[in-house]
Structures are given as structure tokens and as C-alpha cells.
Amino acid sequence: MGFTLAIGLLPALLSPLAGTLVDRIPLRVPLMVGNLLRMLIQLGVGLLALQGEVSLTVINVLAFLNGLVAVFYGPASMSVLPGLVPAEQITRASGLMASATQTAGLLGLVGGGVLVSAVGSAPSLIVDGLSFGVMAVLLMFVNLPERTPAPHQPGFWADLRGGITYVRSSLLLTLLPVIALFINASLAPMEMLLPKQMLTLGAGASGFGLFFALITGGMLVSSVAVAVLNDRVKPGWMSSVGLGGIALSLLLLALAQTTWHLWGLALLTGLALGVANTGIGVLFATLIQPEFRGRVASLLGMVSSMGQPLTLLVLAPAADRVSISLMFGLAGCVTLAGALVWHWAVRQHDFRSATLAPAG
């Protein structure tokens, strides 16, 4: 599992190159091609599974290909919303988009489990593949934002350097990928340590599943709340409070003694994650100039995707040698330190300007 996960994440190292390319081409291209490729991959593995056991080599190759598609698809999808929604509705739209994503996640977990139980893995993968084809068709009816070509467009490598310079031009923008890493890294101790904790408390796999279902439910509630409040809540404040809430959840997990404590903290974690992610999404949509969105999104994706595996590598050697409480306590302290640094950066930033202008 670790090796397959690493293979799937390996293409993230190419994210800056992918983001630079996304900024130079129409958004419809990576979105359409990405869905069609995912359809072919899922249909392929589903048809192979109908013939018998799928080899680990094939699974790893497909994991790499899926990761490669995600490297191009992620920056393109993040660049769509700011171009479709009026500036005064960005917060509401981000909240609605996040709530739709989390609802789909809950329905997918439940529906996927029912489907696999009813018809088996291979037919379920084929149905999954067809869903990507449906998405590709639906994209044909979306009026995606058009790019205005620059009078003198620099070369590819100059674009790449320009994106890095743009990120470094603002303290807030420089720290944005780091905070995304903190958010993803904060989930790693939960995924690694909670299975053992659930077994110890007698809740087992069902308790573990309920924990992450409650996290998703909390994220859904907070996203809906943000959509309702719209611009009455500030994205910088949201991201700071959300990250602080994640740190608090980790610190309280160190003290949890019963499954009810764990499930309550799962809901708190989900609420905090929803607030933090939506705040960061709004900051991305409102502060970053359109011509830089692909490159900034790619850096966000590259850095944040490394959060969980890097944290697991750091924690794994000590996981069986120290108490779970100590592990959660340390993770909470590190996350709290990141929240304080981010809050300081938010307070230093001048939000009166609509976007971050490129340096120089």
C-alpha cells in the first residue's frame, strides 16, 4: 500500500511544470482530456478484473497514470471557479462547491460500498469509469472562462520562473502551500494511530469508518454555513480559525478515553477542516491573478500532497515505541505553531487590494 501510494504521488513532483502548461492553454483541454483518460483507466482495470486477478504491476502503473492526470487536472479545476463567479459571490460559491464535494464524498462512500457488495469490484470500477465519461460530456455545456493572450507571451521556462517569482512576492502567498501541507499532514496521525485505538476501545473497523464519516459530515456543515454567511466572514480569519481548530482537535485526541470522545472530536475536526479549506479556497480565488492561477495551484498541490506521506515517514519509526497520546500531543503542538505563524501572516497582509500583483 505504501509503495502504491508513493507511486501515485510521484507525479506531484512535476506539478510546477504542469501548472505552467495549464496557464498557457484553454482550461477545457486539461479538464476534458483528464476525464477521458480517467474513464479509460477505470474501464481498463475494470475489464481486466473481469478476466481475473489484476497484477500489482498493473495497479502501480495505473496509480502512476492517475497521479499524472491529477497533476494537470487539479490546477485547471481550481482555476475555473474564480472566472465563472462574480467577485462578491466568491465566498458563497466556494462554500457551495465544498459542500457539494463533501456530499458527493459521503454518497460515494455509501453508494460505492453498496455497489461493490451488490455486483462486485470489477463492474463497480466500470461504472466508475463511465461516470468520468459523463463528466466529460457535461463539461461541454459549461462556458469556461476565456484566457486573454498576452501581447508578448514569454517562453515556457520563463513562465515557470515567473510563477515562482510571483509566489515569492508575497509572504501570504509564500506560506499558502505550507499551510496546505499542514492541513494534510494533520490527518496523517489520525489515519495511522486511530485503527489501533479503535481496536483497543472495541469499536473496530466500523468505529474507524464512523470517525471519518463524521469528519466529512462536519466539513459539509461548515461549508454550508460559509455559503449562507457569504462575505460576512473573511477568508483570512476563516483559514486561521480552521487551522487552530485542527490543532485543538489533535490536542484533545491525546486526552480522549472513549469512542464517544473520539467521534465528538471527529465532528470538531471536520468543522475545522471545512472552515480552513474554504478559507484557503477563497483566498486563492480572490487574491491570485488569473494568469498565475495554474502555477500557484500546482505548487499548492505539490506541497500539500506531500503532507501525509512525509508525516507518516517521520512518525512511523516511533509509532510503536511511544504512546498514542504523546503522538497526538506532538502533532497538535506542531499544527498549533503553524496556525500561529499563518495568523501572523494574515494580519500582516493588506487585503484592500483585490489581487496580488506580480513583483517587478
SS3 content of the chain, % helix, strand, coil (to 5): 80, 0, 15
CA 197, CA 258: separation in Å to the nearest integer?
Answer: 10
Greatest C-alpha distance within the chain: 66
322-340, pLDDT tens digit by residue? 888 888 888 889 889 888 9
CA 153, CA 149: separation in Å to the nearest integer?
Answer: 7
CA-nearest of 214, 342, 334 to 269 is 214
CA 142, CA 138: separation in Å to the nearest integer?
Answer: 7
Contact, 284 vs 176, CB < 8 A? yes
Q: Is the pTM of this model over 0.75?
A: no
Q: At what angle do helices 204-229 and 171-200 cross, to 10 degrees?
A: 150
Report the percent of the chain where pLDDT is more than 70.
Answer: 91
pLDDT at 324: 84
pLDDT higher than threshold 70 for residue 150: no
Report the percent of the chain where pLDDT is more than 90.
Answer: 16
pLDDT at 360: 40
pLDDT higher than threshold 70 for residue 356: no
Q: At which residue does the C-alpha cell 505553531 appear?
A: 337
Q: Within 10 A of 120 (CB to CB), how many other CB atoms are there? A: 12
pLDDT (mean) for 155-184: 77
